[in-house]
Amino acid sequence: MIPKYIKEHGIPIYVEKEFHIKPFRQRKDICYYGDIVAVYENGRRWYVVGIEIKDWKVRVGPKLARKYLKVYGQVCEYFYLAARRFSRKLLGMPSVGLFSLKKMEVVKRPQYLYPNERLRENAVKRMKKCGLKEEVIESPYQTTLDMFF
């Protein structure tokens, strides 16, 4: 449901819940499963967007955001924290997008993250096995020729 409200990166064409962000587990990572990993189509470009949901009464702060960003940022081009309340310090973190669970809207748009090419390719290939369109390009740095016609 949340990916439909995030329109900054195009149209969500595929959504995975509890997705294995990386093909392997590292104990130092704060998470192994991403709450939501969605693929957005914007023209002939596809963006992998990660969304971590924290439905808590307390405010979500920058320390927690940095830990999740470190994991999601290796695979996703954009990362959002979805929560009821945010620390004001999060507004100063350009890499993290904020999504309000109260208003169901984007509060702050994130910067592009430049993911690890191999990890993103692996994630897209795994999504293709589960129904993502074959035309979606695995590499975040590759385009299709029809963009130039």
Report residue 111 CA to chain centroid gap: 11
State residue 115's pLDDT score. 95
Residue 148 included in any domain = no
Residue 25 included in any domain = yes
State residue 146's pLDDT score. 59
Q: Measuring CA to CA, how many Å separate 76 from each of 69, 123, 147?
A: 9, 9, 22
Residue 141 included in any domain = no
- Show pLDDT as tens, one digit a residue, over the chain (149 residues): 899 999 999 999 999 998 877 766 666 656 667 789 999 999 889 999 999 999 988 999 999 999 999 999 999 999 999 999 999 999 999 999 999 999 999 999 999 999 999 999 999 999 999 999 999 988 887 766 655 55
End-to-end CA distance of the chain: 35
Backbone angles phi, psi at 145, to 5 degrees: -65, -30
Residue 140 included in any domain = no
In contact, 39 and 13? CB cutoff 8 Å: yes
Residue 143 included in any domain = no
State residue 22's pLDDT score. 72
Q: Number of structural domains, the chain?
A: 1
Residue 100 included in any domain = yes
**Exposure pattern of 86-113 as b/e (b: 16+ CB <10 Å)?**
bbeebeebeebbbbbeeeeebbbebeeb
The kind and range of the H/E element at 16 are strand 11-20
- Structural domain for 79, as ranges: 2-135
Q: Is the pTM for the entire model greater than 0.85?
A: yes
At 99, which CATH number? 3.40.1350
State residue 38's pLDDT score. 96
State residue 20's pLDDT score. 79
Residue 98 included in any domain = yes
Residue 42 included in any domain = yes
Determine the Cα–Cα distance for residues 100 and 41; give it in Å rounded to an integer. 23
DSSP states of 25-94 as a string?
Answer: --TTSS-SEEEEEEEEEETTEEEEEEEEEE--SSPB-HHHHHHHHHHHTTT-SEEEEEES-B-GGGGG-T
